[in-house]
A and B are shown apart, each in its own frame.
Chain A
Amino acid sequence: MRLGASFADALRQGADRWLFRVGAPETAPIRLTQRRIYVLPTAAGLGFAIALVVMLVTSINYNLSLGYALVFLLGGAATASIVHAFRNLLGLSLRPGRCEPVFAGEAAGFRLQIDNARDSRRPALRLRARGQSSAFELEPATESTVLLACPTVRRGRLSIGRMVIETTWPLGLIRAWTVFVPEADCIVHPTPEPDPPPLPEDGAGGVGTGASVRDGDDDFAGLRAHRSADSPRHVAWKALARGGPMLTKQYAATRGGDVLLDWSALPVHLDVEQRLSRLSAWILRAEQDGRRYGLLLAQTSLAPSLGRDHRDRCLRELALFGSDPRDSGRQT
Chain B
Amino acid sequence: MTGHLMRLAAALKRARPDDAISAATRAAPLERRQATWLLVAAALTVAPHGIWLPGWIHALCLLLLAWRGILLWQGTRPPPALLLLGLSSAAAIGVRLEFGHFFGKDPGVALLALLLGLKLLEARSSRDIRAGVLLCLFLQLALFLEDQSMAVAALALLGTLASLGALVALADPAGGAREHLRSAALLLVHGLPFLLVFFVLFPRIQGPLWGLPADAFSARTGLSDTMSPGSISELGNSAAIAFRAAFDGPPPPPSQRYWRGPILSKFDGRTWTAAPVVEADTPFYVATGRRYDYVLTLEPHNRRWLLAMDYPGAAAPLVRFASDHHALSARPVQARARFALTAYPDARIGEAESPAVLAAATQLPAGSNPRSRELAARLAAGAASHAEILERVIAHMRAARLKYTLRPPLLGTHTADAFLFDSQRGFCEHFASAFAVVMRAAGVPTRVVTGYQGGEINPVDGYLVVRQSDAHAWAEVWLDGRGWLRVDPTALAAPERIEDGLAAALSAEGDLHFMLQADMAWLRDVRHRWEAMSNSWNQYVLGYNPDRQRELLARLGLSHASALKLAGMLGAISAVLLLGLYAWASWQRRTTDPVQRAWDRFCTRMEHAGVSRPSWEGPLAYADRLADALPEQAGRLRAICSAYARLRYGAPSSSAGLRTLEKMMNEIRLP
Contacts and interface: CB of A to CB of B under 8 A. Distances in A.
Interface of A: 34, 44, 47-48, 51, 54-55, 57-70, 72-84, 86-87, 90-91, 95, 100, 102, 106-107, 109, 113, 117-119, 121, 123-124, 126, 128, 131-137, 141, 143, 146-149, 166, 168-173, 284
A66 B167 contact: no
B199 interface: yes
A180 to B, nearest CB: 17
B183 A170 contact: yes
Which of B11, B171, B190, B591 has the largest count of A CB atoms less than 10 A from its CB? B171
A119 B593 CA distance: 12
26 contacts: A47-B134, A61-B207, A62-B144, A63-B206, A64-B145, A65-B148, A66-B148, A66-B541, A70-B137, A72-B202, A73-B192, A76-B191, A77-B164, A79-B194, A80-B187, A83-B582, A84-B186, A113-B615, A123-B179, A124-B171, A128-B21, A147-B12, A166-B21, A168-B25, A170-B172, A172-B171
Contacts of B16: 134-135
Contacts of A51: 134, 137-138
Contacts of B649: none
A145 B61 CA distance: 47
B615 A74 contact: no
B522 interface: no
B140 interface: yes
A143 B615 contact: yes
A296 B198 CA distance: 76
Interface string B500-511: 000000000000
B8 A75 contact: no
**From DSSP, what is the main secondary structure of chain B's interface residues?**
helix
A107 B1 contact: no
Given A147-B12, A172-B167, A75 B209 contact: no
A64 B141 contact: yes
Contact of B190 (A64, A80, A86): A80
Nearest to B145: A62
B601 to A, nearest CB: 14
B148 A64 contact: yes
Contacts of B138: 51, 54-55
Interface stretch (B321-329, B425-433, B542-550): B542-550
A149 B208 CA distance: 58
Contacts of B170: 172
Given A66-B156, A119-B589, A73 B171 contact: no
Contacts of B20: 128, 131, 133
A76 B192 contact: yes
B188 interface: yes
B190 A76 contact: yes
Given A72-B195, A87-B585, A90-B585, 15 more contacts: A55-B137, A57-B209, A62-B144, A62-B208, A67-B141, A70-B144, A72-B194, A72-B202, A76-B191, A76-B198, A77-B164, A79-B578, A106-B8, A133-B20, A141-B591
Nearest to B105: A62
Contacts of B11: 109, 147
A94 to B, nearest CB: 11
B526 interface: no
A62 B581 contact: no
B590 to A, nearest CB: 9
A124 B21 CA distance: 12
A227 to B, nearest CB: 18
Contacts of A69: 153, 195, 199, 541
A83 B191 contact: no
B558 interface: no
A24 to B, nearest CB: 19
B172 A133 contact: no
Contacts of B187: 77, 80-81, 84, 170-171
Given A34-B586, A60-B209, A65-B542, A123 B194 contact: no
A73 B615 CA distance: 45
A95 B614 CA distance: 9
Nearest to B126: A172
Nearest to A78: B191
B586 A62 contact: no
